[in-house]
Amino acid sequence: MPDKTIFKRIIDGEIPADVVYDDELCLAFRDINPQAPTHILVIPKKEIASVNGLTDADQALVGHLYLVIVRLAKDYDLAATGYRVVVNTGTHGGQTVDHLHFHLLGGRSLQWPPG
Ligand code: 5GP
């Protein structure tokens, strides 16, 4: 059995995280190395390695994750000024943790295109 990812260990309560939202399907917590004044990671509790691992069975889950992101954007006063949702995927995408996660970044003006 492969080792647990760091995010699965956070879900299982084995390592601490600054949790800002928790429900039966997902968890949201502050990134340990924030790239913006507000940098929150939203992850499914279900173990899915990346967006490449999504199936038809995850349709409602992905919708739920996105609605939680919108809720957090409102709760953390990002909705009016704007924010970015990022899902790094694979090596070229810069993914470093193999558990699906959505970065919610805001609180400053973000550059485009990304590096
Ligand atoms: P990725 O590079 O895979 O898109 O994003 C992984 C993110 O997880 C990075 O922004 C990194 O700072 C964050 N991260 C890695 N380990 C931990 C941890 O133990 N706790 C928290 N809160 N964030 C982490």
Mutation probe of ligand 1 site: the residue of 14, 18, 33 with most atoms within 8 A of C-beta: 33
Ligand 1: centre distance to CA 50 (Å): 14
Give, in degrees to the nearest 5, the angle at Cα 80 between 64 and 75: 50
**H or E element in which residue 85 lies:** strand 83-86
Summarised one tens digit per residue, pLDDT across range 35-91 is 999 999 999 999 999 999 999 999 999 999 999 999 999 999 999 999 999 999 999
Q: Which fold has domain 6-106?
A: HIT family, subunit A (3.30.428)
Q: What is the pTM of this model?
A: 0.98
| 101 classed as catalytic | yes
Answer yes or no: is the C-beta of 83 below 6 A from any ligand 1 atom: no
- Decide: residue 7, CB within 10 A, 0-12 exposed, 13-18 middle, 19+ buried: buried
Question: In percent, how much of the chain has pLDDT > 90?
Answer: 96
CA distances from 63 to 15, 50, 67, 107 (A): 27, 16, 6, 24
Q: In this predicted structure, what is the pLDDT of residue 1? A: 56
Residue % of the chain over a pLDDT of 70: 98
Asked whether 32 lines ligand 1 (CB < 6 A), one says yes
Atom of ligand 1 nearest to the CA of 88: 4
- Average pLDDT (9-34) is 98
Span 91-113, mean pLDDT? 97
State whether the beta carbon of 17 lies less than 6 angstroms from ligand 1: yes
What is the residue-averaged pLDDT of the chain?
Answer: 97
Provide DSSP, 9-78.
HHHTTSS---EEEE-SSEEEEE-SS-SSSEEEEEEESS---SGGG--GGGHHHHHHHHHHHHHHHHHTT-
CA–centroid distance, residue 55 to ligand 1 (Å)? 24
The answer, yes or no, to whether residue 4 has pLDDT greater than 60, is: yes
